[in-house]
Structure 1
Amino acid sequence: MQFAGTQDYVATHDLSVAVNAAVALERPLLVKGEPGTGKTELARQVARGLGLPILEWHVKSTTRAQQGLYEYDAVGRLRDSQLGDPRVNEVANYIRRGKLWQAFEAEERVVLLIDEIDKADIEFPNDLLQELDRMEFHVYETGETVRARHRPIVIITSNNEKELPDAFLRRCFFHYIAFPDMETLRRIVELHHPGIRDELLTAALTRFYEIRETPGLKKKPSTSEVLDWLRLLLAEDLSPEDLRGDTRDALPRLHGALLKTEQDVHLFERLVFMARRER
């Protein structure tokens, strides 16, 4: 099984190598990178490219590792016992299967996305070590052991909000999605905006990289934001000349799609003010 991108997803050579290496090693693929660089979408496109179903587990700050295995609804069972419901005689009726359990019992191999693992408590990754290593876990309430019928392809994303434990990192194949260069970004844009005029795209991307590389910027605009910006440029029917006219003495056109903090807007306002004073 070899992944090389899809018609809707541009995968660089090193990214394809990382995906295929993780599959061959049967290790989770840990993907880091700036927000908006396509980490979550990668898992969906890997599933699509390999013709496999996907299960998505989106981690929040309150998520516990146990929820990925199963949850026992003791409160529901107590309530049903008070109501005389015969279902209480079978504890399995109150076991809610998590995404890992669903992946393990699937009839065919699946892609399992564990999205933004760094949002959870620091112990969250360590609590999954054994299950991801052995591909099995024990259900204490029923006494059964759940083993994976087919080892899922596990893709884990992180925005680097907190450090992950060394023991967890050792069990993963790691890849950092670097921000795309101009040529790669052109290919990405052309997938989402087919037929865009080359002159407009060149002017827009030149201006975008100038904005992104401005010293002191708190949040650099990402791939998803440049796609939104280009959609607005096309909707407004702006020309390459309009963008070339965006120099240091003017705020970027439709800058709300690119600048996401008041500090960055104020930074550009100050740069515009200084540029006008120098004229």
Structure 2
Amino acid sequence: MVFNGTERYVATDELQMAVKASITLQRPLLIKGEPGTGKTMLAEEVALSLGKKLFRWHIKSTTKAQQGLYEYDAVSRLRDSQLGDEKVYDIGNYIKKGIMWQAFDADEQVVLLIDEIDKADIEFPNDLLVELDKMEFFVYETGERVVAKHRPIIIITSNNEKELPDAFLRRCFFHYITFPDRATMQQIIDVHYPGIQQALVNDALEVFFKIREMNNLKKKPSTSELIDWLKLLIADDIPADLLQNKDIAQAMPPLYGALLKNEQDVHMLQRLAFMAKRDGR
């Protein structure tokens, strides 16, 4: 099984090697990188490329590891017992399979995405050590031992909001998606907008990377935000001359709301542009 990217996803040689290494070692692939660099999309495209079903587990701050395995609905069982329902005698009727159980139970190998694992409590990764390592877990309510029929290809993403435990990291193959250089970004744009005017792309990339190079920027624009910005420029048929002034310290880029996502960064650029005009530069 080899992943070489897809028509919709440009994968660098290093990323392709990371996916291959994870599959070969049968260890989860831990992907880190700036938000908007395609971490989640990687799992989708790996599943598509290899012809496998994708199971998504999106992690929130309130998510518990147990929810990925199963949940026992004791409240429903109590209600049914009060109503005299016969199914209360089979506790299995109140066991809801989680995403990991569903992936373990699949009749063929699947891709399992555990998305943004760093959003959960610090103990969350530790609570999944055995399940990720041994590919099995125990259902205490029924006494059932669940073992994966086929070891899933597991891709775990993190935005680095908090440190992950060493014991968890030891069980993973790690890859950091570096921010694309200009040549790679050009390939990504060509994938999303084949046939786009290269003059527009060149000017847009010039502005985009100048913004990213600015000091004291609270949030640098990401790949996905560049793609959104280009879509707006195309849709609104923005004249090329509006991007000719690539010095962002002198002029705000059109539709900058697609690139800048907080008022601090907007005010900083507006202040620079105002000062430049005042000084007659």
Q: If the length of structure 1 is used for normalisation, what is the TM-score?
A: 0.98
Q: Conserved in 2, the CA contact under 8 Å of 1:221 and 1:259?
A: yes
CA contact (8 A) 1:246 1:253 kept: no
Counterpart of 1:113 in structure 2: which amino acid? L
Amino acid at match of 2:220: K
Determine the C-alpha separation between the residues in 2 that align with 1:58 and 1:38: 15
Q: Structure 1 CA distance, aligned partners of 2:239 and 2:187?
A: 20
Pair 1:76 & 2:81 matched: no
Amino acid at match of 2:86: P
Q: Which residue of 1 aligns with 2:253?
A: 252
* Match of residue 262 from structure 1: 263
Provide the secondary structure at the position in 1 that maps to 2:231. Answer: helix
Distance 1:233 1:214 in 2: 22
In 2, the alpha carbon distance for the partners of 1:90 and 1:152 equals 30
- Give yes or no for contact 2:115–2:157 (8 Å, CA) kept in 1: yes
Trace 1:135-174 onto structure 2 (pairs within 5 A): 135-174=135-174
Displaced runs of 4 or more, over 3 A = none
Q: 2:126–2:165: 8 Å Cα contact kept in structure 1?
A: yes
Describe the SS at the equivalent of 1:157: strand
Q: In the alignment, which residue of structure 2 is the partner of 1:28? A: 28
The question of whether the paired residues in 2 share the 8 Å contact of 1:32 and 1:159 is answered with yes
Distance of 1:45 and 1:84 partners within structure 2: 49
CA contact (8 A) 1:30 1:156 kept: yes
Check conservation: 2:31, 2:175, Cα contact below 8 A.
Answer: yes
Query: Counterpart of 2:208 in 1: which secondary structure?
Result: helix
* CA RMSD after TM alignment: 0.9
Amino acid at match of 1:11: A
Q: Secondary structure at the match of 1:191?
A: helix
Unpaired segments ≥5 residues, structure 2 = none
TM-score by length of 2: 0.98
| Count of matched residue positions in the alignment of Structure 1 and Structure 2 | 279
Which residue of 2 is the match for residue 236 of structure 1? Answer: 236
DSSP 3-state at the match of 2:23: helix
2:105 alignment counterpart? 105
Amino acid across the alignment from 1:120: A
What amino acid sits opposite 1:175 in the alignment?
H
Alignment of 1:111-150 (within 5 A): 111-150=111-150
* CA distance in 1 between partners of 2:216 and 2:244 (Å): 23
Give CA-to-partner distance per residue, 1:163-186, whole Å, 9 cap, x none: 100110111000011110111111
Percent sequence identity is 65
d(CA) in 2 for partners of 1:277 and 1:176? 43
1:39-118 matches, cutoff 5 A: 39-118=39-118
Structure 1, residues 127-151: CA drift from partner, whole Å, max 9, x if none? Answer: 0000000000000111110001100
Please tell me the residue identity of whatever aligns with 1:219: K
Residue type of the alignment partner of 1:83: L
- Cα distance in 1 for partners of 2:13, 2:97 equals 37
| Residue matched to 1:3 | 3
Give the superposition deviation at 1:278: 2.6
Give, in angstroms, the shift of residue 246 of structure 1. 4.8
Q: Is the contact made by 1:109 and 1:151 (CA closer than 8 Å) also made in structure 2?
A: yes
Could you give the per-residue CA deviations for residues 192-221 of structure 1, whole angstroms, max 9, x where no partner exists? 111101111111111111111111110000
Q: In structure 1, the residue corresponding to 2:138 is in which secondary structure?
A: strand
| Deviation for aligned residue 1:245 | 2.7
Deviation, structure 1 residue 276:
1.8
**Contact 1:47–1:53 at 8 Å: present in 2 too?**
yes
**Displacement of 1:240:** 3.0
Alpha-carbon shift at residue 236 of structure 1 (Å): 1.7
The answer (yes or no) to whether the contact 1:70–1:98 under 8 Å persists in 2 is yes
Counterparts of 1:245 and 1:3 in 2: how far apart (Å)? 40
